[in-house]
Structure 1
């Protein structure tokens, strides 16, 4: 009887760390998935709310975009977010369309294409090998016509 009880204690002592590692891994993966979903959502929201005129005039475009993402977010940790490689192009177009009475309607628009890379250090519940210190990276491209976002694309790096 004593030998069986001792055997059960030994088995429990062996299984407990493995069970805890599995539980922490599941919690860690769930947290990473949640953070990835939040980041994608906040990037999209930030592109929609981005002030295109302010973007053109901003001296530090990386900081301007980073503040836009953090301003749109209530969930992301500012210390974990980093924006780099911001580039943009601006093009003003002017078209004339003839109308029936012989006149023409003039259309003017400003098209801005912005792209940047976002990296976010995912939070870790425990320092588990392979799960801690993971960084989620996205390449974002936003297209604006007359200050309104018309297309937002995100790609993993």
Structure 2
């Protein structure tokens, strides 16, 4: 949450200069927000204050953040999937009862994340039999 509004992202680094409060969902948890409770976010649990420091999200020696993301993809993917892959099986601890009530999934992303979202749409529809779509964020 920042002065300009409320933002959602997969990484705090993307929003660091724009937010002064944040919530990080714990592993295997789900967040839900509706139009009814969107305007008054005071009820949100675990909201933490955030003070942005430039050094926290530096692009280092890379020319831009896209180049940094490309070079860090391999290690980021390994870190993300650690403990969730075994041979050809993927382990994801989402409550099946929760998924029974999901009728559609919308993934909003840009850059290389958009391409990952396109692949995810295929997987959601093919494996989970849930209608999905990917929309370009910018």
What TM-score, normalized to structure 2? 0.23
Structure with greater Cα Rg: 1
Structure with bigger helix share is: 1
What TM-score, normalized to structure 1? 0.21
